[in-house]
Amino acid sequence: MKLHNISLNNLKRRKAKMAFLTIGLTVGIATIVTLVTLTRSMSSDIERKMDEFGANILVTPQSNGLAMNYGGISLGGVTFDQKEILEADLARIKTITNHKNISTVSPKVLGGIRIGAHDVLLVGVNFASEIKLKQWWKVFGNLPETASEILLGSDASKILNLNPGEDLMIKGEKFKVAGVLDQTGSQDDTLVFAALPKAQKLLGKEGRITLAEVAALCSGCPIGDMVTQIAEKLPDAKVSAIQQVVEGRLKALDQFKRFSWAMAAVVVFIGSLIVFVTMMGSVNERTVEIGVFRAIGFRKSHIMRIILLEAAIVSLLAGCLGYAFGMGGAKLALPFMAESSGAHLVWDVTIAFGSVGLALTLGLMASIYPAMHASRMDPTEALRAL
Amino acid sequence: MALIEIKNLKKHYASGEDTVEALRGVDIRIEAGEFITIMGQSGSGKSTLLSVLGGMNHPTEGDVEMAGVNLYRLPGEKLADFRAQRLGFVFQAFHLIQYLTALENVMLPLAIVKMKNAEKRSAASAALERVGLGAKLDRLPNQLSGGEQERVAIARAIVNNPEILLADEPTGNLDSRTSEEVMALLSELNRGGQTVVMVTHNPDNCRYADRSIVLRDGLIVEK
Ligand SMILES: Nc1ncnc2c1ncn2[C@@H]1O[C@H](COP(=O)(O)OP(=O)(O)OP(=O)(O)O)[C@@H](O)[C@H]1O
Ligand SMILES: [Mg+2]
């Protein structure tokens, strides 16, 4: 018979109450584990995706005109005083120090053009490099192979009422629709794509381009450095790193993180309250018992130890269960929260130890006052008139 | 020197606006090995006196000297240690811990003592043997009769061999035959050397005692 036998026996006797306490704490810890694991898994998912796409660098003209947007990316204004980049200059990109990290350079020329009764945005691209950059493109039909073939965005194809294999006239020239893009959900849906030299000619911009997208081949490669290096080679162009794609998601993640912290704070508060109220109730129910302990010579510190040990045992159990249920919850929720289906659950020992540690701290902190209250009970008062 | 000596002991309780003078100046000397009964009407201060003697109830005035120690001058937890080592307490309402077996209840005072578990076990079963419950070690309190529960309470009080056994109406809840048995047990313990101070309502119990003290309204009226 030691003090811990008393704690254990009491826990066994008060199964229902202790189960309630354990469940309360478990739910709290599980919520926190789920939230933390979800945020971690989601950020690792996003990081992975950033690597997959390569961090793109955008080369646009310096401009003092109006801003124009492409895929949510602000380009130099495609306006009357439009400065343009010379296609020949682009070759210099391949001479930067980190040229090995460049996987693709995709030059583009942009301009408005009339097809039938519609104004459309014509984009001249190098299809071979464009398809490397936009791996998510799905083409009905084929990619254009000759200069007289074009590719339509899905919306453009609907509005122009053109399908693969059909012909159309642009500026008196006959073109064939080689393929139509499946819906991408991006600006690409509304565009008409043609081979770069042809588009330059149609738009009267021979030898010039509107922008170039550079795909960097890297996981953790020095995008910042590459941007500076390219800017040095092309002093007339504006070079920027596109991070908007993931940035939007990172922002959402950041909000989710903040929400998680708020939730965690609420859960910790409620958990502490449950522990406090239950332990206080348990101590008050045990007045006589504690009076007996004191009467037969238990010190105040012995009483504290009995109560705190009970809290510690329950908290330990709740910490372990909370971790298990929390990871289960994260596993169930991750497919709904992450964008890619390949998102992996992040297993982390620090979360395991953290959840047990948190449960212990929470359980003990909330039990300190009840334990002190118990140790201060007056034995004569407790045993009087009973 | 007497084992227990109290002088001019006063205990006042605050009860709402007024104070209740439970003890109004009590002097007692008890020698080692004595068997003392404390009698008196309800409310005369018997339990108060016993709890003050037991180091659980700070007196308003006066000192309690026990085995040369001034109890209420002991610092902090030393008083608890004194209770643990030198006193045994038997309550009228038994006050057994319901979720512990008879054996575990008796082992309770040893939970804070450095001792091998096997030794604790044998000490506790020896104490239960002495009170005649050697065969019911593993019963829970609610599986025992009133008399048996009282015996467990006595075994718990004597398991650490205290010099002084304090009992508050140990027979109050028992029928006359069981009362006799418990009294015989206490008397036997007394013959074994334990000093016994017992509160009782029943004058019959006094024949086991060396002396009887009668309290009335917080004062000793008869020794
Ligand atoms: N904690 C307390 N607070 C206030 N008054 C108390 C307290 N304890 C005892 N009293 C009062 O002190 C007086 C003596 O009480 P005590 O319990 O010592 O009497 P008793 O002789 O043991 O009575 P009984 O035979 O009924 O057990 C009573 O008037 C009682 O109401
Ligand atoms: Mg009484």
A9, A139: one domain = no
CA separation (Å) from A56 to A62, A217, A226, A244? 18, 9, 10, 10
* Domain endpoint, select from A192, A208, A224: A208
Q: Which amino acid is it at A48?
A: R
Cβ distance A3 to B83 less than 8 Å, yes or no, reads no
Residue pLDDT, tens place only, B54-96: 999 999 999 999 988 999 999 878 999 999 999 999 988 889 9
pLDDT at A71 over 60: no
Query: Which residues have any ligand 1 atom within 6 Å of their CB?
Result: A 381, 384; B 13, 15, 20, 22, 40, 42-48
Distance CA A132, CA A110 (A): 19
**Of the ligands numbered here, which is closest to the C-alpha atom of B22?**
1
CA dihedral defined by B30, B33, B39, B45, rounded to 10 degrees?
50
- The encoded tokens of residue A184 equal 């991408």
User: B13, B38, B215: which to mutate for ligand 1, most atoms within 8 A of CB?
Assistant: B13
**Which residues of chain B from 87 to 106 reach within 8 Å of chain A, CB to CB?**
87, 89, 91, 93, 95, 97-100, 104
Range of the domain at A190: 104-208
| Contact between A183 and A140 (Cβ < 8 Å) | no
**Which residues of chain B from 33 to 62 reach within 8 Å of chain A, CB to CB?**
47, 51, 54, 56-57
B138 touches A at CB < 8 Å = no
| B222 vs B53, more confident | B53
Number of Cβ within a 10 Å radius of residue A220 = 9
Count of the separate structural domains present in chain A: 3
- Cross-strand partners of A109: A124
Report the SS3 class of residue B19: strand
Contacts of A293 in chain B (CB under 8 A): 108
Q: How far is CA A174 from the centre of its chain?
A: 46
Reported ipTM: 0.93
DSSP class per residue in A272-337:
HHHHHHHHHHHHHHTHHHHHHHHHTT--HHHHHHHHHHHHHHHHHHHHHHHHHHHHHHHHHHHHHH
| Contact between A238 and A61 (Cβ < 8 Å) | yes
A171, A71: one domain = no
CA separation (Å) from A188 to A137, A183, A191? 10, 9, 5
A63, A89: one domain = yes
pLDDT of A217 reads: 64
Residue pLDDT, tens place only, B152-202: 999 999 999 999 999 999 888 888 888 898 899 999 999 999 999 999 988
- The encoded tokens of residue A368 equal 């300190």
Count of the separate structural domains present in chain B: 1
A87, A164: one domain = no
Count of pairs with CB atoms under 8 A, one residue in A, one in B: 82
| Contact between B131 and B184 (Cβ < 8 Å) | no
Cβ neighbors of A153 (< 8 A, separation 6 or more) are: A180, A181, A184, A188, A189, A190, A191, A192, A193
Q: What's B38's domain CATH number?
A: 3.40.50.300
Range of the domain at B158: 4-222
Q: Residue A39 C-alpha to ligand 1 middle, in angstroms?
A: 63
CB-nearest partner of B80 from A2, A5, A299: A299
A280, A373: one domain = yes
| Contact between A268 and A361 (Cβ < 8 Å) | no
- Which of A31-40, A334-343, A360-369, B29-38 has the least mean pLDDT? A334-343
A265, A143: one domain = no
Distance CA B204, CA B223 (A): 16
Q: What is the mean pLDDT of residues A80-90?
A: 73
Q: Which amino acid is it at A350?
A: T
Q: Residue B182 C-alpha to ligand 1 middle, in angstroms?
A: 25
User: B12, B15, B52, B213: which to mutate for ligand 1, most atoms within 8 A of CB?
Assistant: B15
What burial class does residue A16 get, using C-beta atoms within 10 Å of its C-beta: 0-12 exposed, 13-18 middle, 19+ buried? exposed
* Reported confidence tier of residue A117, pLDDT bands at 50, 70, 90: confident
Distance CA B198, CA B180 (A): 14
- The encoded tokens of residue A366 equal 């909330």
Q: What's A121's domain CATH number?
A: 2.40.40
Cβ distance B156 to A301 less than 8 Å, yes or no, reads no
Find, in chain A, the residue whose alpha carbon is nearest to that of B107. Answer: A1
A156, A305: one domain = no
Q: Residue B38 C-alpha to ligand 1 middle, in angstroms?
A: 14
Distance CA A184, CA A136 (A): 8
DSSP classification of residue B20: E
CB-nearest partner of A380 from B51, B84, B98: B51
Share of chain A above pLDDT 70, in %: 87
Q: Of all protein residues, whose CA lies closest to atom 5 belonging to ligand 1?
A: B13
Residue at token pair 């162009």? A237
The ligand 1 atom at the shortest distance from the C-alpha of residue A381 is: 1
Q: Of all protein residues, whose CA lies closest to atom 7 belonging to ligand 1?
A: B13
A111, A203: one domain = yes
Q: Residue B45 C-alpha to ligand 1 middle, in angstroms?
A: 6
pLDDT of A13 reads: 87
Number of Cβ within a 10 Å radius of residue B216 = 14
- The encoded tokens of residue B52 equal 């003050």
Distance CA A127, CA A367 (A): 68
What burial class does residue A55 get, using C-beta atoms within 10 Å of its C-beta: 0-12 exposed, 13-18 middle, 19+ buried? buried
Cβ distance B82 to A297 less than 8 Å, yes or no, reads yes
For chain B, the straight-line distance linking the first and the last C-alpha, in angstroms and rounded, comes to 19
* Reported confidence tier of residue A76, pLDDT bands at 50, 70, 90: very low
A143, A256: one domain = no
A226, A330: one domain = no
A189, A296: one domain = no
Distance CA B180, CA B173 (A): 12
Report the SS3 class of residue A291: helix
Helix (H) or strand (E) holding A187: none
B20 touches A at CB < 8 Å = no
**Of the ligands numbered here, which is closest to the C-alpha atom of B23?**
1
pLDDT at A187 over 60: yes
